[in-house]
Amino acid sequence: MIVAAKCTSKSSTEIADNTQVPAASAKAGSSDSKFPKASLWSTFFTSGFSVGETYSESSSSEKKTVHSRNSWWAAAVRKVVSGGSMRRFQERVLGSVRTDVSSSDGDIWLLGVCHKISPHEATGDVDTRNVFAAFEQDFSSKILITYRKGFDAIEDSKYTSDVNWGCMLRSSQMLVAQALLFHKLGRSWRKTIDKPVDKDYIEILQLFGDSEAAAFSIHNLLQAGKGYGLAVGSWVGPYAMCRTWEVLARNPREKNDQGEPPLPMAIYVVSGDEDGERGGAPVVCIEDASKRCSEFSRGLVSWTPLLLLVPLVLGLDKVNLRYIPLLQSTFKFPQSLGILGGKPGASTYIIGVQNDKAFYLDPHDVKPVVNITGDTQEPNTASYHCNISRHMPLDSIDPSLAIGFYCRDKDDFDDFCSQASKLAEESNGAPLFTVAQSRSLPMQVTSNSVSSDNTRFEEDDSLGMNLVNDAGTNEDDWQFL
């Protein structure tokens, strides 16, 4: 049995002073509006801090009144939290924090890379020390983005923390951050302590700072996602999150020294069939992908790097077990960016699998805002990484999720289409998603028939700026598989 080292990040017992009770979900009745018992407990703990800690904008007399009335309650809550009960409470939502990695459970697939933990067939031995060290270094090199406290208030609200409501936004930030790492530094990049910090790495972290000046901050995500129901203090689902990134990527931003926009890749959100009918697996349309690339480059090149986001609903209260092997297989794709998923009301970023285990990065730890600049020789980036390899059962995740893929170029996209088509063929009629050349061709593209001719494409109204459909229905409903 192999046990991971202690996490370098701080405990989640660092609860923000300005935490507020999350507002009601924007779309009642949807799969993203589930509030389990854990959410009620979350409100309970949050309220304890809200009554004991007032906003900086409050008058001194108001502070005195609230303090005298509720100081005993705030002290009681602090005692519970300082004793480590908050982490135990969070474990009731996500399950117990498990960090053991056993060689008997098979190899680990981490975003397209296989770490061969299994014993060798010939000798029955496995060099656990070296293999686990490689896995741990790979895992800890992934960017972790968590709850933050102490940032500038979001728009005209009083929220200076996203504790208890921003986990889906943070999970999505992690997925996009990995796409940028793969784009700029390659999949083999590892964070080291004995070498100078990569400039590109620092620039990526700066994009996810907690202020309006940072292109992909929680402030700007909320602004871009208003048309999909994103609001300060409210939870949000995977579909709305994917569409929000699509909108945010279109916003004009200053380019970097290399002339690249903050997100140097096109985004393609794959959802629904060509007629928008309810039901059925989403279709990766090759011509649509080509069109996204052409629009991103303003027609200058025929293909660009591409970020694919596939929001899905794979069951009612839990994931249909027929989809578990397919979800596991997506982590074997070289283009894998993992899954936005977790438990209802507690999103995580799943980056790997080992048999039935899902390894994830947890955004629920609370950390103070960090200002990452390129001015200092060795900026402190410790809060953006963690080497504790948490995992939970893959079949316990919420059925509402989104899968991400990054394709560097046309050849990479063709390989993705080939692997995705092969996976669909092996799905016994229940694929996660399918691949087709054109929207006018409902037939699935097989693994050996991916065309390299993507020069022609049909008009696609899905790129319009109508953010909410005419019927006002929840988009997740018609993606149910």
Active site residues: 167, 362, 364
- Locate 106 and state its tokens: 């098979």
| Long-range pairs of 216-220 with CB within 8 A, sequence gap ≥ 24 | 216/173, 216/176, 216/248, 216/262, 216/263, 218/148, 218/151, 218/154, 218/162, 218/166, 218/169, 218/170, 218/173, 219/151, 219/152, 219/154, 219/155, 220/248, 220/251
DSSP state string for 37-64 = HHHHHHHHHHHHHHHHS--TTS-HHHHH
CB of 103 closer than 8 Å to CB of 117: yes
Write b or e for each residue in 273-308: b if 16 or more Cβ atoms lie within 10 A of its Cβ, otherwise e: bbeeeeebbbbbbbbbbbbbbbebeeeeeebbbbbb
Give CA angle at 85 (82, 89), nearest 5°: 140
**How far apart, in whole angstroms, are the C-alpha atoms of residue 262 and residue 239?**
22
**How far apart, in whole angstroms, are the C-alpha atoms of residue 131 and residue 113?**
13
Residues 6+ apart with CB under 8 A from 176: 216, 245, 263, 307
- Locate 237 and state its tokens: 């689902």
CB of 25 closer than 8 Å to CB of 32: yes
- Tell me the sheet residues that pair with 17: none
- Classify burial at 208, counting beta carbons within 10 Å of its beta carbon; exposed 0-12, middle 13-18, buried 19 or more: buried
Fill in the amino acid letter for 226.
K
Q: Cα dist. 23→19, 39, 55, 127 in Å?
A: 12, 12, 17, 50
CB of 208 closer than 8 Å to CB of 148: no
* Closest alpha carbon to 39 in 229, 235, 238: 235
Beta strands 306-313; 434-436: pairing state = unpaired
* Closest alpha carbon to 160 in 169, 173, 171, 147: 147
